[in-house]
Amino acid sequence: MARHRVDDIAAALGVRWEGDGGIELARAAAPADATEDALAVAMDPAYAEALGRGAARAAILWDGADWRALGLEAAIFVTRPRYAMAQLTDRFAPRPDLAAGIHPSAVIDPSARIGNDVAIAPFVVVGEGAVIGDGARIMSHTSIAAGTEIGAGALLHPGVRIGPRVRIGARFIAQPNAVIAADGFSFVTPEPGAIEQVRATLGAEVTQRQSSYARIHSLGRVVIGDDVEIGAGSCIDQATLAETVIGDGTKIDNLVQIGHNVQIGRDCLICGQSGIAGSTRLGDRVVLGGQSGVTDHVEIGDDVIAGGGTLFRTSQPAGRVMLGDPAMSMQQSIETYKALRRLPRFMRQMAEFKKSVSKTGDTD
Amino acid sequence: MARHRVDDIAAALGVRWEGDGGIELARAAAPADATEDALAVAMDPAYAEALGRGAARAAILWDGADWRALGLEAAIFVTRPRYAMAQLTDRFAPRPDLAAGIHPSAVIDPSARIGNDVAIAPFVVVGEGAVIGDGARIMSHTSIAAGTEIGAGALLHPGVRIGPRVRIGARFIAQPNAVIAADGFSFVTPEPGAIEQVRATLGAEVTQRQSSYARIHSLGRVVIGDDVEIGAGSCIDQATLAETVIGDGTKIDNLVQIGHNVQIGRDCLICGQSGIAGSTRLGDRVVLGGQSGVTDHVEIGDDVIAGGGTLFRTSQPAGRVMLGDPAMSMQQSIETYKALRRLPRFMRQMAEFKKSVSKTGDTD
Amino acid sequence: MARHRVDDIAAALGVRWEGDGGIELARAAAPADATEDALAVAMDPAYAEALGRGAARAAILWDGADWRALGLEAAIFVTRPRYAMAQLTDRFAPRPDLAAGIHPSAVIDPSARIGNDVAIAPFVVVGEGAVIGDGARIMSHTSIAAGTEIGAGALLHPGVRIGPRVRIGARFIAQPNAVIAADGFSFVTPEPGAIEQVRATLGAEVTQRQSSYARIHSLGRVVIGDDVEIGAGSCIDQATLAETVIGDGTKIDNLVQIGHNVQIGRDCLICGQSGIAGSTRLGDRVVLGGQSGVTDHVEIGDDVIAGGGTLFRTSQPAGRVMLGDPAMSMQQSIETYKALRRLPRFMRQMAEFKKSVSKTGDTD
């Protein structure tokens, strides 16, 4: 395991350090778990006590901390802790458990083009005409279907499924068992059915009965930009004719469902178990909290931010902060939740009030 | 890639065509992406402009479109576009990337019976006594456990898990990483516990504490009809003693959870991330929008249609169109959502009104 | 298949039996499906009629049932049916379809330590320094990464993904395609972004725009106690620096998401499609119904029980029974739901009342 000097780490982070800059560190650790060769991460005074329970000689601390009083021999000081964490954990991140080269058990179609310095683990399958960029690490049990192209520097964790004709940019990360380009969920009845009637009448009249379904096949593809990450078990469906699109820099958490023909902009964050139904478009920098949902065929504008469990049942203009079902502005939603909690008591009070007024009236 | 003539396509769809019926087409495409050998799909006037950006010579158009003015050499006209899409995409659907025969890496138990014209991809495992019908295509990394029977024409995408003793009808489709026949989530404490008390008293009294759980094992099986499709990452649990049932023609989207002992009727549509808890029954032609939920041990009648995010906390008679949490009729739910949005203001207005009336009273 | 005598089964369950105790049974079955060699399970009078449709000679019945009148030759009587089911199904549970020993296709790092009596199926990958306890059964297509330790008696179903540095106790069960130790969903922008502003101002002011994200890597690990079960497709993320913890005896259903740094106590039940966001802590014996959610960085006390679809947006003291979004006491939630259903009518009535009072006032 590579070791890093205190002064080198501070220089890389562009921050200040004090004490013995020559201490060499093998890893980063929580304050109480830190061994002598670990950099304790205690960027908030709340962790001061935990430092005493660990054995760290050096720590990364909040600005202004008294490192000598904390029993340390060296300290690095940060002003923006979360961003420092990104840089620090990148430096100490263990590399995936994967030897260079192509494992003999992998089944690679002879027409596939595999870049330089690619590592392919056991039991990987790569289909006809697939293209894998330089430096990719394809972990075990992953399948990459015919005609798919993956950019340089990809990291595919075990069990990832990538369907046919997918285009993926550089530095793609897929967590275990993610599924890219399953067929879209698109079925139709020979005659107009009950669902179409419900949509047309908002449920007011339903005389049709659904009959058997015919599949609308997915002939399109999934197109994924640069620097995208897809979480464990998440699913992104293939487009019917055109493209399901995930923009540059967008990060998708675990167990998220992205329907067919969906278009997601740049630098979005889609948290765990959220779902986006077919043909919906999200702008750039949209954030969906966990277990959020967006109905089909709507548009969510740039910079919309939604708290956990928000359900968008209609389109949403840009820049709003939303919460609840149906989605309201976060301010309105919090006010509405408060009103809802008071509602049973309010109804009783109003009923009493009405009764008292009516009685007053009766005595007139 | 097979090519199809314009006149042949129109004949197969049973619809009208005009222009050069002999143009041969290799694929269907969105209007703007269409190359010269593609049939542009533009079944709504909204796509007229996009046609100009593509290079299509032939298109499938809305009824009455002026194909010559759109710069085309041939046109096919449809009256029910979505159903035409099913027929059209079926014709042009690329076949899965899978050679005929059994890949030498597959591990097939000698007692398994494999039908005619079956294709089995690398790293497939088929257990003792399993039966796979004619024409099945079993893609890579799929596992089929002992005693499972799968009908003719199945298409199992990569990474599908099928547990023991499952019975599946004809033309089954499982999207990547779907899980059929995991063990049901069924546990019990040696003495009656808190959950049982909550159910009995609706939470009014909870004196019990849960203790450690013993597993109730799943000895039953999953029974799936003909023409069923299961989405990517979806899970269908094994029954305790009897059967978890998915009826003929039912389609299940991605990341759906179907609990143990659930029975689902024919021609249902269960959209993404919905969940149906243990021992619940759904009738025929039920539609659940995305992220819907149905509690355990209830019955949802035939032809019930639920919008996205609907939670059924009780049984539901047949034929209703439902929405919300808890599920209400769609009409009532829309009215209730509107009332909810107005609630904080309404409460303030009523408080003022009450105050004004009381003041009036005071001055009497 | 092993056979069990009626009297032996009753003795093992510690309950009473009558009739021919020597009847030998090969399996347990639902009453209507029971063959002559099956023990029909009919622990409620509701199943009496179904018994007549099956061919069982022996059944496990509700206390006081007249077994002769039901056409049986022997009967076992229970007083706590669900617990009897656990014991009974354990006795008759079929063992997984897995030969002893290590399949020649498995790729086991030479430095891995494999216990005694371990069965490893085809296409399993075990990484550097991994440790697998005695009696483990590792089913096909499973991957176990470097440095992970799994206790004795584990059962890993097909397609399970276990990442690096995980510690798992004894008798662990993972259903198919479960994912342990994917990277946490943790990203940060170089400058403070819109999300941080939303949290600080509850959405009142958002002037920042999100910029590109840097990953905070997961250097910590997942620690799982004894007797834990993880459902099909469920995901448990790795901690940033310290540990994501699942306590002894906790059972997790299918498609559940457990975020990074989450700590779950002992003997919890987390039902299907629930999600727990990062750094949240659950006490002991917590029960979350299906599709529940808990926001990040909160604490849910011991013995909290939540109905399906409950969303915890704040911390929750111990011992409460909760329901709804936002979570309220189950009593209050039921009352609020009732009020909500009446709300549109109530608003109309109050508007009329106000109008009538105002008119009265006008005539003064």
pLDDT at B272: 98
Chain B, window 161-180: residues with a beta carbon less than 8 angstroms from a chain A beta carbon? 173, 175-177
**Cα separation, A40 vs A57, whole angstroms:** 8
pLDDT class for B160, splitting at 50, 70, 90?
very high
**C50 CA: distance to closest CA in chain B (Å):** 12
Nearest Cα neighbor of C254 from A306, B262, A160, B169 is: B262
**B123 CA: distance to closest CA in chain C (Å):** 7
Contacts of residue B249 in chain A, CB cutoff 8 Å?
212-213
Active site residue B103: no
Radius of gyration of chain A (CA): 27
Residue A11 pLDDT > 50, yes or no?
yes
Beta bridge partners, C78, equal C62
Chain B nearest-CA residue for A190: B83
pLDDT at B1: 63
Question: Where along chain A do its domains lie?
Answer: 4-92, 101-328
Chain A, window 37-76: residues with a beta carbon less than 8 angstroms from a chain C beta carbon? 41
- Tokens, residue C46: 């509701």
Cβ–Cβ below 8 Å for C194 and A331: no
pLDDT at B203: 74
Nearest Cα neighbor of A358 from B297, B61, C357 is: C357
Domain A101-328 is of which CATH architecture? Answer: 3 Solenoid (2.160)
**Cα separation, C132 vs B44, whole angstroms:** 60
Nearest Cα neighbor of C136 from C113, C165, C161 is: C113
C302-325 mean pLDDT: 96
Residues B268-302 pLDDT 10s: 999 999 999 999 999 999 999 999 999 999 999 99
| CB proximity A86 to B under 8 Å | no
**Cα separation, A25 vs A3, whole angstroms:** 5
Cβ–Cβ below 8 Å for C202 and A330: yes
Q: Which residues contact B137 (CB under 8 A, 6 or more apart)?
A: B96, B98, B118, B119, B154, B155, B156
Contacts of residue B102 in chain A, CB cutoff 8 Å?
none
Residue C252 pLDDT > 90, yes or no?
yes
Residue B191 pLDDT > 60, yes or no?
yes
Q: Is B265 buried (19+), middle (13-18) or exposed (0-12) by CB count in 10 A?
A: buried
Beta bridge partners, C75, equal C18, C59
pLDDT at C357: 85
Residue C363 pLDDT > 50, yes or no?
no
Residues B41-98 pLDDT 10s: 999 899 989 999 999 999 999 988 999 999 999 999 988 888 888 888 888 888 777 8
B110-115 mean pLDDT: 97
The residue with greater pLDDT, A359 or B48, is B48
Residue C24 pLDDT > 90, yes or no?
yes
With a pLDDT cut of 90, the percent of chain A lying above it is: 78
Residues B307-340 pLDDT 10s: 999 999 999 999 999 999 999 999 999 999 999 9
pLDDT at A208: 65
pLDDT class for A37, splitting at 50, 70, 90?
very high
pLDDT at B206: 67
Residue C210 pLDDT > 60, yes or no?
no
Residues A160-195 pLDDT 10s: 999 999 999 999 999 999 999 999 999 988 777 777
Q: Which residues contact A16 (CB under 8 A, 6 or more apart)?
A: A10, A76, A77
pLDDT at C273: 98
| CB proximity B278 to C under 8 Å | no
A302-327 mean pLDDT: 96
Question: What is the complex's ipTM, to 2 decimals?
Answer: 0.93
A29-39 mean pLDDT: 93
Residue B362 pLDDT > 80, yes or no?
no
pLDDT at A191: 74
pLDDT at A262: 98
The neighbour count for residue B88, using CB atoms within 10 Å, is 26
Q: Is B283 buried (19+), middle (13-18) or exposed (0-12) by CB count in 10 A?
A: buried
Residue B143 pLDDT > 90, yes or no?
yes
Query: Can you state the percent helix, strand and coil of chain C, rounding each to 5?
Result: 20, 25, 50
**A112 CA: distance to closest CA in chain C (Å):** 23
pLDDT at C360: 62
A36-47 mean pLDDT: 92
Residue C326 pLDDT > 50, yes or no?
yes
C65-86 mean pLDDT: 91
The residue with greater pLDDT, A356 or C100, is A356
> Chain-wide mean pLDDT for chain B?
92
Contacts of residue C204 in chain A, CB cutoff 8 Å?
331
Q: Which residue has the tokens 């290799």?
A: B26
**Cα separation, B324 vs A324, whole angstroms:** 12
Residue A363 pLDDT > 50, yes or no?
no
Cβ–Cβ below 8 Å for A273 and C277: no
pLDDT at A196: 75
A269-289 mean pLDDT: 98
Contacts of residue A229 in chain C, CB cutoff 8 Å?
215
Q: For testing the chain A interface, which of B230, B269, B273, B304 should be mutated: the one with the most A CBs within 10 Å?
A: B273
Q: Which residue has the tokens 């799994």?
A: C150
Contacts of residue B293 in chain C, CB cutoff 8 Å?
273, 290-291, 308-309
A308-327 mean pLDDT: 96
pLDDT class for B361, splitting at 50, 70, 90?
low
pLDDT at B2: 80
C201-229 mean pLDDT: 84
Which strand ranges, in their side-by-side order, compose the sheet holding A251-252? A101-102, A119-120, A137-138, A155-156, A173-174, A229-230, A251-252, A269-270, A287-288, A305-306, A321-323, A328-329
**Which region among A173-187, B232-246, C95-109, C152-166 has the lowest average model confidence (pLDDT)?**
C95-109
Cα dist from B177 to A83, A140, A149, A179, C256, whole Å: 35, 15, 21, 8, 16
Superfamily of domain B4-92, CATH level 4:
MurE/MurF, N-terminal domain (3.40.1390.10)
Those chains having 3 or more beta-carbon pairs within 8 angstroms of chain A are B, C
Residue B192 pLDDT > 80, yes or no?
no
The neighbour count for residue B164, using CB atoms within 10 Å, is 21
Chain B nearest-CA residue for C42: B241
Q: Which residues contact C184 (CB under 8 A, 6 or more apart)?
A: C216, C218, C237, C238, C239, C240, C259, C260, C261, C278
Chain A nearest-CA residue for B351: A350
Cβ–Cβ below 8 Å for A41 and C241: yes
The neighbour count for residue B301, using CB atoms within 10 Å, is 17
pTM for the full predicted model: 0.94
Residues B222-274 pLDDT 10s: 999 999 999 999 999 999 999 999 999 999 999 999 999 999 999 999 999 99
